[in-house]
């Protein structure tokens, strides 16, 4: 898998990230999440530690990451005519508070507000950010207390402020998209998940990513967690969104504070593509 990532990036395996004084709780515990995404193994440059089966990702490194960068408006909307892939859709925040389960849920930081008026996230033309505290899971209720995240729809015409998004499936194969490279800045948590979602599939396929850092991955790397009994492999012709998820743990709550600062799309005709 590391060899494929090296080919995808067109560079040698990246050097390890110095995490410094990152705040990190026990949110790395491999336990089922729900809905927006599910858990996996901790990615390090030495490989994956034992845990849930997830796609590995190339993280960090000093070389220029591959791919074509997406641009978005100050309101966090990627316009169809702004990229050669016809990706179209808004950034937005999501959490286990929506819809309410009756249990304590993830608390957004009310000092920031997104383009849709919701607290806990913000966006401008250079970054999309999210901040808050993911709830501590009680009595193994991961299906209801699964965390929060940022998402970017890939095929949602509308979605500008004041206009409802019309969420559709995006065909990565038709667009010749083989992977993504994502830059994430911030200071907590040290590990999140990058999900590719499909309509009707509760347990999303994902790779692990470190905060801060650059994560480069192939679409074929994303997998569901090891606890998913009946797995649904990712269908690259029906991907709805790219998500950046903070997942929960049973040992403590999980503060989060990070920004997505770049998303690059890697195509099959790109230099070094697998």
- The residue behind tokens 């033309």 is 125
Report yes or no on 274 lying in a domain.
no
Report yes or no on 27 lying in a domain.
yes
Residues 6+ away with beta carbon under 8 Å from 71? 78, 82, 83, 125
Report yes or no on 219 lying in a domain.
yes
pLDDT of residue 6: 41
CA angle, residues 112, 21, 97, in degrees to nearest 5: 35
The span from the CA of 71 to the CA of 69, in Å, is: 6
Specify the number of domains making up the chain. 1
Residue 112 sits in which domain range? Answer: 2-267
Report yes or no on 246 lying in a domain.
yes
Report yes or no on 75 lying in a domain.
yes
Report yes or no on 178 lying in a domain.
yes
Report yes or no on 17 lying in a domain.
yes
Q: How many of the other CB atoms lie within 10 Å of CB of 150?
A: 27
Q: Which segment of 30-34, 114-118, 133-137, 173-177 scores lowest on mean pLDDT?
A: 30-34
Asked if omega into 56 is within 30° of 0 (cis), the reply is no
Q: How many of the other CB atoms lie within 10 Å of CB of 255?
A: 19
pLDDT tens for 155-212 read 998 756 666 668 999 999 999 999 999 999 998 899 999 999 999 999 999 999 999 9
Report yes or no on 119 lying in a domain.
yes
């Amino acid at each position: 898998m590391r060899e494929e990532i090296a080919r995808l990036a067109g560079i040698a395996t990246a050097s390890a990230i110095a995490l410094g004084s990152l705040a990190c709780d026990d949110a790395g515990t491999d336990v089922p999440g729900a809905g927006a995404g599910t858990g996996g193994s901790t990615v390090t440059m030495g490989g994956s530690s034992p845990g849930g089966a997830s796609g590995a990702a190339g993280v960090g490194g000093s070389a220029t990451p591959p791919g074509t960068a997406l641009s978005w408006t100050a309101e966090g909307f990627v316009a169809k005519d702004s990229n050669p892939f016809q990706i179209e859709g808004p950034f937005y925040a999501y959490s286990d508070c929506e819809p309410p389960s009756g249990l304590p849920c993830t608390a957004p930081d009310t000092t920031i507000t997104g383009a849709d008026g919701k607290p806990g996230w913000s966006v401008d033309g250079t970054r999309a950010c999210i901040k808050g505290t993911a709830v501590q899971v009680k009595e193994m209720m991961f299906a209801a207390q699964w965390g929060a995240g940022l998402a970017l729809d890939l095929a949602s015409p509308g979605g500008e402020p004041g206009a409802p998004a019309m969420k559709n499936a995006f065909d990565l194969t038709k667009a010749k998209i083989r992977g993504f490279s994502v830059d994430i800045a911030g200071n907590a948590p040290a590990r999140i998940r990058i999900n590719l979602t499909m309509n009707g599939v509760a347990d999303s396929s994902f790779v692990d990513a470190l905060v801060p850092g650059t994560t480069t991955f192939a679409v074929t790397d994303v997998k569901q967690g090891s606890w998913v009994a009946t797995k649904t492999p990712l269908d690259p012709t029906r991907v709805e969104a790219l998500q950046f998820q903070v997942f929960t743990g049973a040992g403590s709550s999980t503060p989060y504070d990070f920004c997505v600062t770049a998303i690059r799309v890697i195509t099959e005709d790109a230099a070094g593509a697998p």
